[in-house]
């Protein structure tokens, strides 16, 4: 029953939240600002660049990190954070919410009238707080869904997604716009348009899922004049769709703060559209007036009597009144913009941002649904009559901290459940435009029932005519033994071997294409510390130095959705026990192996890997193609 269904999800989410909180506390308790900075949880030191009146008349403060700008960080739009002084970080601290993030600057909203005195002396920093907001939004959506399941016997969408009621489809095809889609993409657009409540687009790597969604959205907007919400778990995925939709001339509003900065994206943001609104002049004048009142109030800062105190209070009250007026005008502008927009884009949690909290939609589209935590999906789903799930449940699943929650079902996505429950709602996109067919075929066999075809434009493309598209280099017997580095596995000898092989290939390409455009490379491994070793080796290699812009080195997870001409994979594991750790997550390997356009080179120890049928069969596949080589054949590098 739907009620039990949601109750179970709430319980699993509570377990996950607790695990997440404990690992956050473990990371942050009793650690120095420098340690937290290295973990990406702190900017320190920072400088205050500007303060202004923000929403609800509270202070919005612009901060900039002044050193360590190369450090990656986990700050995000909507995150809670705390400003602190190193003078006394336990007492001198104020909490706020990040309202904007760009490069090394962020804006944070504080619920105070004026900055505290301590903000003027000592070094300042900003700490990321535990992300309660996302969990609160997910729990709130699940509670709402439980109530609906209890009282609303007519909620067809909930019944379809939780009880297995059958989705229905219209038989008309009059909506389809002329386009250049292939047969399976066209079928997917038909399915989306004709669905009454649910359609699923299963998009394996390189099959043009985004292109298909954009065409479907265009058709829905043009013929139904529908209001559509497009969401995804990550800012990057939301940005990509926002950009493509706005390039098609659709009226899109991006709610939240884009991760990438581009002209099309910026023009689509709510902030940008508000700034262009005729009422903005009025708001600026009012904000200026409120600031003047506040500045006057600040003059009564030191040693003053009752009359001054009353005067100060009166001035703050005036500023507050103006703040309320500003808020009303801003709300009017937003209502006006949202009424006239065709499409709103946001992250899953961003779908409940205060600016759009009360909006409802005809259709919502959840992209990258294979990476979306189910409780987060219910935030947008409850706002719509019809949901389109798009993604690939054979690629990376959502990150879950609690093994218990994952084991008991939180790791299973709504996409995965719905594909099994409603095969009649699924269209598989089966033509791929990325990989040479030899790179594609193993993945197609294992994950997609041999249903993928390589488009003729890519089926046989290579770096140069006599090159091989797929290579497995076997390090068995080379004594390239894995080592444990902290909690991560490394294999320094395998890393050195890989770099030498890459150098060889680069030198061959320099001979073959002395003036041609140079291909792009990805060097990837599932293990973080192995990636660090590989990064160091690429950096210090003289042959590779001129090509550092074309060579990306990172974990597999960071390459989902990306592609390169050449991909090297360091499998890293090599031990007598045949233990392969999380190499056994074959979906992760599906992502790794399908990033390559023209050449895939996998390096690993067959005696360790062969205990797993996935790797044993892959090695056999490489051998059948003539792409199997022992590392000994290259030892005279």
Concatenated DSSP letters for 223-255? Answer: HH---EEEEESSHHHHHHHHHHHHHTT--EEE-
pTM of the model: 0.91
Choose among 157, 138, 88: nearest CA to 116.
88
Are residues 550 and 450 part of one domain?
yes
The residues, ordered by sequence, that sit 6+ positions from 126 with a Cβ below 8 Å of its Cβ are 42, 43, 44, 46, 63, 75, 81, 82, 83, 84, 106, 108
- Is 4 a member of any domain? no
352: left (phi over 0), alpha (psi -120 to 50) or beta: alpha
- DSSP structure class, residue 175: T
Domain boundary among 293, 321, 339: 339
Question: How far apart are the C-alpha atoms of 549 and 183, rounded to whole Å?
Answer: 37
Are residues 569 and 511 part of one domain?
yes
- Is 590 a member of any domain? yes
Are residues 462 and 481 part of one domain?
yes
Q: What is the pLDDT of residue 246?
A: 93
Residues of the chain with pLDDT below 70 are 55-57, 152-154, 172-178, 301-304, 514-516, 636-637
Angle CA 550–554–558, to nearest 5? 105
Are residues 493 and 615 part of one domain?
yes
Are residues 578 and 471 part of one domain?
yes
- Is 26 a member of any domain? no
Task: Give the number of domains in the chain.
Answer: 4
- Is 482 a member of any domain? yes
CB-CB neighbours of 90 under 10 Å: 6
Q: What is the pLDDT of residue 174?
A: 55
Is the separation of the CB atoms in 427 and 392 below 8 Å?
no
Are residues 324 and 243 part of one domain?
no
Q: H or E element: which one contains 291?
A: helix 280-298
Domain boundary among 107, 130, 153: 130
Q: Write out the residue range of the structural domain in which residue 327 sits.
A: 275-339
Are residues 573 and 442 part of one domain?
yes
Q: Is 192 helix (H, G, I), strand (E, B) or coil?
A: helix
Domain boundary among 339, 356, 386: 339
The single residue listed with the structure tokens 């790797």 is 615
- Is 10 a member of any domain? no
Q: What is the pLDDT of residue 140?
A: 96
Q: What is the pLDDT of residue 637?
A: 55
Question: How far apart are the C-alpha atoms of 514 and 629, rounded to whole Å?
Answer: 27
* Beta pairing, strands 488-490 & 483-485: antiparallel
Question: How far apart are the C-alpha atoms of 139 and 9, rounded to whole Å?
Answer: 9
- CB neighbour burial string for 13-49, b if at least 16 within 10 angstroms, e if fewer: bebbbebbeeebeeebeeeebeebbeeebbbbbbeee
Q: What are phi and psi of 230, to 5 degrees?
A: -115, 120
Q: What is the pLDDT of residue 304?
A: 67
Rounded to a whole number, what is the largest CA-CA distance in the chain?
92
Tokens of 321: 């009144």
Q: How far is CA 382 from CA 287, 369, 514, 548, in A?
A: 36, 16, 58, 46
Question: How far apart are the C-alpha atoms of 197 and 216, rounded to whole Å?
Answer: 15
* Beta pairing, strands 93-102 & 105-110: antiparallel
- Is 3 a member of any domain? no
Choose among 522, 553, 556: nearest CA to 537.
553
- Is 7 a member of any domain? no
Question: How far apart are the C-alpha atoms of 385 and 224, rounded to whole Å?
Answer: 14
Tokens of 595: 């990033």
Q: Is 34 helix (H, G, I), strand (E, B) or coil?
A: helix
Q: How far is CA 499 from CA 144, 470, 471, 538, 574, in A?
A: 54, 17, 15, 7, 18
Are residues 547 and 494 part of one domain?
yes
Question: How far apart are the C-alpha atoms of 195 and 298, rounded to whole Å?
Answer: 60
The single residue listed with the structure tokens 């973080």 is 528
- Is 584 a member of any domain? yes
Tokens of 241: 């769709």
List the CATH number of the domain containing 574.
3.40.50.300
* Beta pairing, strands 228-232 & 361-366: parallel
Is the separation of the CB atoms in 388 and 212 below 8 Å?
no
Question: How far apart are the C-alpha atoms of 348 and 299, rounded to whole Å?
Answer: 45
Are residues 443 and 421 part of one domain?
no
pLDDT per residue as tens digits for the range 570-626: 999 999 898 998 899 999 999 999 999 999 999 999 999 999 999 999 999 999 999
Is the separation of the CB atoms in 526 and 556 below 8 Å?
yes
Could you tell me how far CA 341 lies from the centroid of its own chain? 24
Are residues 598 and 466 part of one domain?
yes
Q: What is the pLDDT of residue 415?
A: 98
Are residues 122 and 82 part of one domain?
yes
Are residues 384 and 520 part of one domain?
no
């Amino acid at each position: 029953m739907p009620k039990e269904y949601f109750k179970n999800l709430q319980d699993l989410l509570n377990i996950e939240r607790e695990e997440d909180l404990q690992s956050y506390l473990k990371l942050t308790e009793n650690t120095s600002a420098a340690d937290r900075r290295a973990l990406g949880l702190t900017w320190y030191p920072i400088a205050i660049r500007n303060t202004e009146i923000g929403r609800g008349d509270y202070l919005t403060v612009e901060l900039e990190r002044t050193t360590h700008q190369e450090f990656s960080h986990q700050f995000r739009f909507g995150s809670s954070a705390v400003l602190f002084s190193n003078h006394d970080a336990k007492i001198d601290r104020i909490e706020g919410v990040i309202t904007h993030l760009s490069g090394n600057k962020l804006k944070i909203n504080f619920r105070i009238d004026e900055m505290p005195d301590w903000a003027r002396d000592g070094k300042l920093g900003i700490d990321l707080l535990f992300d309660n907001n996302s969990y609160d939004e997910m729990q709130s959506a699940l509670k709402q869904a439980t109530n609906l399941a209890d009282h609303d016997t007519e909620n067809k969408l909930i019944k379809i997604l939780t009880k297995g009621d059958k989705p229905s489809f219209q038989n008309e095809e009059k909506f389809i716009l002329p386009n250049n889609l292939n047969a399976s993409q066209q079928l997917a657009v038909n399915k989306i348009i004709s669905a009454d409540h649910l359609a699923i687009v299963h998009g394996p790597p390189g099959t043009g899922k985004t292109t298909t969604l954009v065409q479907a959205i265009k058709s829905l907007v043009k013929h139904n004049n529908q209001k559509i919400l497009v969401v995804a778990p990550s800012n990057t995925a939301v940005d990509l769709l926002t950009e493509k939709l706005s390039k098609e001339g659709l009226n899109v509003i991006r709610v939240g703060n884009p991760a990438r900065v581009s002209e099309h994206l910026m023009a689509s943001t709510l902030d940008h559209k508000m700034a262009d609104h005729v009422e903005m002049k009025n708001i600026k004048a009012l904000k200026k007036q409120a600031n003047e009142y506040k500045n006057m109030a600040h003059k009564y800062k030191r040693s003053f009597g009752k009359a001054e105190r009353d005067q100060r209070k009166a001035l703050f009250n005036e500023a507050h009144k103006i703040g309320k007026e500003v808020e009303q005008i801003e709300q009017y502008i937003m209502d006006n913009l949202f009424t006239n927009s065709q499409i709103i884009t946001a992250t899953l949690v961003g779908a409940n941002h205060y600016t759009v909290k009360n909006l409802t939609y005809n259709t919502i589209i959840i992209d990258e649904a294979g990476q979306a935590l189910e409780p987060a999906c219910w935030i947008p789903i409850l706002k719509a009559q019809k949901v389109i799930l798009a993604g690939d449940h054979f690629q990376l699943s959502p990150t879950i901290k609690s093994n218990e929650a994952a084991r008991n079902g939180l790791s299973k996505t709504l996409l995965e459940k719905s594909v099994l429950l409603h095969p009649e709602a699924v269209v598989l996109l089966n033509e791929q435009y990325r990989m040479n067919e030899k790179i594609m075929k193993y993945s197609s066999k294992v994950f997609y029932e041999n249903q993928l075809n390589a488009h003729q434009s890519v089926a046989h493309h290579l770096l140069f005519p006599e090159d091989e598209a797929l290579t497995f280099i076997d390090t068995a017997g080379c004594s390239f033994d894995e080592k444990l580095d902290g909690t991560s596995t490394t294999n320094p000898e395998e890393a050195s071997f890989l770099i030498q092989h890459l150098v060889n290939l680069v030198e061959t390409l320099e001979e073959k294409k002395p003036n041609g455009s140079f291909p792009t490379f990805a060097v990837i491994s599932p293990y973080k510390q192995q990636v660090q070793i590989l990064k160091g080796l690429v950096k210090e290699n003289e042959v590779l130095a001129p090509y550092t812009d074309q060579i990306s080195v990172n974990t597999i997870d960071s390459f989902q959705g990306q592609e390169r001409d050449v991909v090297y994979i360091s499998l890293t594991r090599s031990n007598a026990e045949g233990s392969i750790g999380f190499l056994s997550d074959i979906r992760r390997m599906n992502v790794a192996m399908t990033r390559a356009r023209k050449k895939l080179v996998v390096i690993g120890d067959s005696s360790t890997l062969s205990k797993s049928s996935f790797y044993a069969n892959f090695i056999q596949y490489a051998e059948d193609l003539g792409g199997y080589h022992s590392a000994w054949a290259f030892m005279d590098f």
